[in-house]
Amino acid sequence: MDHQEIVKMTGITKLFPGVRALHNVDFDVRAGEVHALVGENGAGKSTLIKILMGVHQKTEGEIVVEGERVEVKNPLHAQSLGLSAVYQDINFAQHLSVAENMFMGKLPRNKFGIVDHKAINTETNHIMSSIGVDVEATEIISNLTIAKQEMVAIGKVLHQKAKFVIFDEPTAQLTTEETEELFRIIQMLKEKNVAIVYISHRMEEIFQISDRITVLKDGELVGTVPTESVNEDDLIAMMVGRKLEDMYNIKHIELGDTALKVENLSRAGEFADINFEVKKGEIFGMFGLVGSGRSEIVHTIFGDKPRDSGTVTLHGKVTNAKSPSEAISAGIALLPENRKEQGLALELSISDNTNMASVENISSMGVLNTKKGDQITQKFVDILQTKTPSISQIAKNLSGGNQQKVVIGKWLAADSDLFIFDEPTVGVDVGAKVEIYKVFEELISQGKTIIIISSYLPEVMGLSNRLLVMHEGKQMGILDKSEYSEENVLRLASGMQLERSHKDEYE
């Protein structure tokens, strides 16, 4: 590895009106390394990166790029210095082609002033081919998957001859296979001596791909360590002062009567003959690889997808919801995997979102009692410790963890009985995860019932009383806590049976 420092930031401090976002932070990135930048939401990661990319101006400190002290004036200046970023929310002109986006702002023209599409298409195909990605230059961006759009963003970085690239939560919307493809390309960039900053809440990714890790907390530097010198427990302790085993250490209660009973539930092409029961006060886990049908099952229970056959019974009453509104009336809550598109009205306030599923509780004769709605919202903001300046804050301006808390608050306000959490901690920092787990603890202490779907095995095994495992639409088995192991779960998730028979229901 070439150990030349591409970027060195020293003593970086940033003051906003009434807030000190960063204080005396040192950070450096070397050619040919992946340097992970981690910390809870609000730790200062985004502010540090925005200062480097010219979005914000530092209050104090020094920035050196390839040995030269610089004042990064704006993002275009950063680009001219060889600094680039691939953000979680990819910003492309969706109606234009891959090539037009690749060359935007620098479109070559012939002597008649007409864009030379042949030239940009040829060069774009060459760039994408060089990173082993099959994307046609003429394809309209909106027709591409998020993963492909991300690959185009990386291609654009290469086209700009970037020496330093920031990846900000790059796998948040990618499948396991797409993530592996991204890691292959990042490895290729390393071999080209590109300096890389990798920001992610996913611990397993940090350890898989990074060479060094820098931890920020409350705007200050906790430390920078070689990845090989720490484990996940060490890193979490640096970030939040808690040990790994404490994260899932919630208090379970004695289980009550059957709350939910699912019998012979089927939906053509997605899953068939699903049978399970969940008790009052239980956290029931569901796990499966991509395409297993796990999310489709809960969306069918919620009435978001029609069933072909089967029965759902809640507290002894058949509840075959044909729409989400019917499910909500029956006491079922679904926190979807894609909270931004399905769980929140991003342009509305926290208060509007909180009361959305229980409008009848704050209205009389068609007139909303906004004061009552605000009181309810403030109650759940306080209970969930949602970080926000006020309950009138627009939802899209909140961090991922706080957006998730608003969705939870919505269903708490609706006084739901069954809470279905589909990937509840995706894009959420470690500290917020612990707070969400405490919400789980509070819900089951009230006798509520929880179904949790998670792709992260330590999470779903650590929280649940029992675990249903799916494979390609088929229910492979239900494991008791005593049978939990990664080997057992992954064996079932891969379509193989365990070497024993196990009843799928309580005796």
Report pLDDT digits (tens) over 382-401. Answer: 888 788 888 999 988 887 77
Single-letter amino acid code for the residue at 206: I
Helix (H) or strand (E) holding 5: strand 5-16
**Using one digit for the tens of pLDDT, what is the confidence trace for 316-357?**
999 999 999 899 999 999 988 777 777 788 889 999 999 988
- Say how far residue 294 (Cα) sits from the centre of its chain: 18
Nearest to 216 by CA among 55, 27, 75, 350: 27
Q: Are 10 and 26 in contact (CB under 8 A)?
A: yes
186-225 burial, b for 16+ CB within 10 Å, e for fewer? beebbeeebbbbbbbbbbebbbebbbbbbbbbebbbbeee
Instruction: Determine the average pLDDT of the residues in 348-374.
Output: 85
Query: What is the amino acid identity at position 217?
Result: K
State pLDDT tens for residues 76-91. 899 889 898 887 666 7
Mean pLDDT of the 281-300 span? 92
Tell me what the mean pLDDT of segment 98-103 comes to: 84
Report all structural domains of the chain as residue ranges with CATH numbers, in order of start. 5-240 (3.40.50.300), 246-331+416-428+447-507 (3.40.50.300), 340-415 (no CATH)
DSSP state of 343: I
Q: What is the pLDDT of residues 105-127, one digit of tens each?
A: 777 777 777 877 888 888 888 88
The whole-number average pLDDT for the span 7-16 is: 93
Average pLDDT over residues 254-260: 94
User: Residue 365 pLDDT > 80, yes or no?
Assistant: no
Residue 175, pLDDT score:
74
Q: What's residue 505's pLDDT?
A: 43
Residue 243 has pLDDT above 70, yes or no: no
- Confidence (pLDDT) at 308: 95
**For the chain, percent of residues with pLDDT exceeding 70:** 95
Q: Are 206 and 235 in contact (CB under 8 A)?
A: yes
> 502 pLDDT exceeds 50?
no
pLDDT band at 159 (very low <50, low <70, confident <90, very high): confident
- 52, 79, 77: which is closest to 64 by C-alpha? 52
User: Tell me, what's the pLDDT at 283?
Assistant: 97
pLDDT of residue 433: 81
Predicted local distance difference test score (pLDDT) of residue 506 = 40
The mean of the pLDDT values for the chain is: 87
With a CB cutoff of 8 Å and minimum separation 6, the contacts of 79 are 160, 162
| Alpha carbons 184 and 190: distance in angstroms, whole number | 10
pLDDT tens for each residue of 199-226 = 987 888 899 999 999 999 888 999 999 9
- pLDDT (0 to 100) of residue 350: 93
CA distance 132 to 125: 10
Residue 313: how many other CB atoms lie within 10 Å: 16
